[in-house]
Amino acid sequence: MSGILVLVRHGQSEWNLKNLFTGWRDPGLSEKGHEEAKDAGRRIKAHGLKPDIAFTSVLSRAQVTNDHILAELGQEGLETICDQALNERDYGDLSGLNKDDARNRWGEEQVHIWRRSYDVQPPGGESLRDTGARVWPYYLHDIQPHVLRGETVLVSAHGNSLRALVMALDGLTGEEVVKMEIATGVPIVYRLNADSTVASKEILED
Ligand SMILES: O=C(O)[C@@H](CO)OP(=O)(O)O
């Protein structure tokens, strides 16, 4: 057995609350989102996990979530690496649009395909496959080595950048990933084997 990888999707953002496509836009957390992020920190602490290093995106909702978690753990100031590779999927021309307005305009099915399919790009944006093509190499090169050294690594990121990562870790197909959702502020804990395969996965729900 080697180290531990803790994945957390940021708490609810102001634009999650307003039902807007967000992508690379940079809204802050909603009031509920701040609470969810603190709660994620409390759950991580209750499970006796203590990160040695943290990774997050360059978007504030993920960074503030990371700050809340570290504060709950009493680990403010822990080395945190921010990288664009962990950003949310770029939603292109959909960014800033209301999701219900988009359904009225393009139809329920088309919008679902843009949101959850593996390889269909929203107009001007990234498919989940495109997102995975930046998240997975970053994971392999920058994050995984820490886990294989036996460290506990915290990653605060986004719904779709984490879907891409979980898809690869869990070995899901493009069809299976369509049904996979990642809840805001609910930590997912992977323990890895020394050969980098997954030894166990635990979701820290209520
Ligand atoms: O708007 C977004 O950037 C994402 C995450 O909030 O939305 P969706 O769940 O539709 O992929």
Structural domain range at position 124? 4-203
Active-site residue among 36, 72, 88, 126?
A: 88
Average pLDDT, the chain: 98
Percent helix, percent strand, percent coil in the chain, to nearest 5: 45, 15, 40
Could you give the CA distance from residue 179 to residue 166 in angstroms, rounded to a whole number? Answer: 12
Distance 23 CA to ligand 1 centre (A): 7
Residue 194 pLDDT: 95
Is residue 11 within 8 Å of residue 185, measured between CB atoms? yes
Q: What is the ipTM of this complex?
A: 0.96
End-to-end C-alpha distance for the chain, whole angstroms: 26
Q: Which ranges of the chain have pLDDT less than 50? A: none
Which residues sit with their C-beta closer than 6 Å to ligand 1? Answer: 16, 21-23, 88, 91, 115, 159-160
10 is catalytic: yes
**Domain count for the chain:** 1
Q: How many Å lie between the centroid of ligand 1 and the Cα of residue 200?
A: 27
How far away, in angstroms, is 161 Cα from ligand 1 center? 10
pLDDT in tens, 78-135: 999 999 999 999 999 999 999 999 999 999 999 999 999 999 999 999 999 999 999 9
Residue 94 sits in a domain whose CATH number is: 3.40.50.1240
